[in-house]
Amino acid sequence: MRTGWYVFMIKVSHMSKYYGEYPAVLDISFTVKEGETVGLLGPNGAGKSTTMKVLTGFTPPTSGEVSIGGFDITKNSFDVRKMIGYLPESVPLYSDMSVIEYLQFMAKIRGMKEGIVKRVNEVIEITGLEEYRKVLIGKLSKGYRQRTGIAQSIVHKPKVLILDEPTIGIDPVQVVETRSLIQSLGGEHTLILSSHILPEVSTICKRVLVIHDGKIVADDSPEILSKRLRSTQVCEISVTKTAKLDVIKLFRDQSYVVDIRTKADSNPSYNSFIIETSSTDSVEEKISKLIIENGLGLSKLVSLPLSLEEIFLQLTTD
């Protein structure tokens, strides 16, 4: 039974999962609101799949509590399963069934009794499988098999969609198409997606939980993570061309400069450089002062945001 109205679609409270003595996930807590798109980002072995298996009721937590839509996953696993669509790391597809047969079969397994044919046709359309509806799953490319996996995860109209590494091992063209499919599904579902591929979470998700060694080490939007975790700053400058001054040496001699390299500039009157600095304290001011003091004309000075890749490296190499 659901007790009272629920505030969060997903609530994870001090959840740990041990495999024998080994803590694959250790004391994690987080909440997800209805309609949020959350990326679970971490390297291999971080604990992403384990977290997802617990959320879907596939495996029980060793300790802690998890609820989906107000239902406790261990006490109300039947109700929870109806609310969740799950794409596991390797989808158990039946290679000798056609796409349509498999999806109708999965709809029945998920407890659907009416409107199966109509709904299966709908998901075939949503996932772009129209041409393949009668093709045996064993004959599909990996990308189309993955679409079939996504189709089975949404066939019963779940509120929550949990996708474990949905684009792993598929070719680049299909990756782009699969990502935009997932992005469109994000609109009507609460979505949790795991990935070790940074561009994936940043294009699809509004919020990123970074997981490392079974613990959540960051929880923010991709943009805020970038600002909060920045310990080095990267700037681009364009200055007037001069033969009189070695600009690279001038900057290298400054204590706050970590690195400087030239960047091709389309304007023949200017030279552009990318400068990496160690401090974030009024770096732009220091750079512009240095340029003016040395009689150089400044046409551009911009701070470049850190990529998620850099953030991730900072977090996980610590």
Residues interacting with ligand ADP, by CB under 6 A?
19, 22, 24, 42, 44-50
Q: H or E stretch including 252? A: helix 247-252
**Nearest CB to ligand ADP, comparing residues 19 and 78:** 19
- Residue 59: CB minimum distance to ligand ADP, A: 8
Q: Which of 154, 216, 160 is nearest to 9 (CA)?
A: 160
Q: What is the DSSP pairing of strand 10-19 with strand 63-68? A: antiparallel
Shortest Cβ distance from residue 194 to ligand ADP (Å)? 6
User: What CA–CA distances, in Å, run from 184 to 74, 105, 115, 139, 204?
Assistant: 31, 25, 23, 26, 9
Angle between helices 142-154 and 172-186 (to 10 degrees): 10
Closest CB to ligand ADP among 17 and 189? 17
Shortest reach from residue 45's CB to ligand ADP, in Å: 4
Instruction: Please identify, using beta-carbon distances, which residue of 48 and 110 lies nearer to ligand ADP.
Output: 48
Residue closer to ligand ADP by CB (options 86, 251) is 86
Q: Minimum distance between the CB of residue 47 and ligand ADP, rounded to whole angstroms?
A: 5
Instruction: Indicate the SS3 state at residue 229.
Output: coil
Nearer to ligand ADP, 51 or 277 (CB): 51
Smallest distance from the beta carbon of 19 to ligand ADP, in angstroms? Answer: 3
Which DSSP string do the residues of 263-317 spell out, in sequence order?
E--SSTTEEEEEEEES--SSHHHHHHHHHHHTT--EEEEEEEPPPHHHHHHHHH-
Q: Pick the closer one to ligand ADP by CB: 215 or 241.
A: 215
Between CA 83 and CA 156 the distance in angstroms is 9
**DSSP labels, 9-38:** SEEEEEEEEEETTEEEEEEEEEEE-TT-EE
What's the closest the beta carbon of residue 36 comes to ligand ADP, in angstroms? 20
